[in-house]
A and B are shown apart, each in its own frame.
Chain A
């Protein structure tokens, strides 16, 4: 299972209610293809760093989708033919998230090791304590 982040920019001249229907429409496309829309993030109207088409601002919407990848193709095809969508970007984030998780686990392990070896350094141990619990759980899973 892969996790994707689909960001698209809706033209500023589109009504709020129409954006709502567009978002549900696009998430339905993904769901019908067997994917799961985990999160819908409406970032609201933002200024664009450079003009896209003839627009200087747009509504940013981010969909977090869990799926196999085939629904992304369909989704992109749909967005390409939708005039209201002036820009879209899809990014696969599962590998990045996994890497971030690994870093976090490694840091927690190190904090735990420090706390264990240097009991005299009480202050550090207290600071590291909340991380430590988390880490023990992670190790148990592995």
Chain B
């Protein structure tokens, strides 16, 4: 993912030493929905939702995508609706 690369560039540098070795302060990933000013996540938009559903069919957690709490909740609802509408899979192998 390209966001990974960006994060590394945004690193404020590792601290040498300290307790337990290096510590990296990673720049906070930002919520894409906040940046795009999204107020409502449509469950019919399969392409958008698909980017938050990795291969296995599970919902991508906030800690990985960086989505804010409010938008993650909206996203989760939308994904669950989309599953019932056969737009997204319940589980993929």
- Residue A96, interface by CB 8 Å: yes
Q: Total interface residues on A, using CB and 8 Å?
A: 22
Per-residue CB proximity of B49-93 to A under 8 Å, as 1/0?
000000000000000000000000000000001011111111000
Q: Is B4 positioned at the interface, with any CB of A under 8 Å from its CB? A: no
Q: Which of B34-51 contact A (CB under 8 A)?
A: 37, 39-40, 43-44
Q: Which residues of A contact B (CB under 8 A)?
A: 7, 9, 43, 46, 48-50, 52, 58, 60, 62, 87, 89, 91, 96-97, 99-101, 103-104, 107
Contact in complex: A100, B39 (CB < 8 Å): yes
Interface size on B, residues (CB 8 A): 14
- Residue positions of B touching A, CB distance < 8 A: 37, 39-40, 43-44, 81, 83-90
A-B contact count (CB 8 A): 38
Q: In the complex, what distance in Å separates the CA atom of A129 from the CA atom of B5?
A: 35
State which of A50, A91, A99, A104 has its C-beta within 8 Å of the C-beta of B86.
Answer: A50
Smallest CB separation, B72 vs chain A (Å): 15
Instruction: List 20 interface pairs A-B (beta carbons < 8 Å), by A numbering.
Output: A7-B44, A46-B87, A48-B86, A49-B88, A50-B89, A50-B90, A52-B86, A58-B86, A60-B85, A87-B84, A87-B85, A89-B81, A91-B81, A99-B39, A99-B40, A100-B39, A101-B39, A103-B39, A104-B39, A107-B37
Residues of B within 8 A of A100 (CB): 39-40
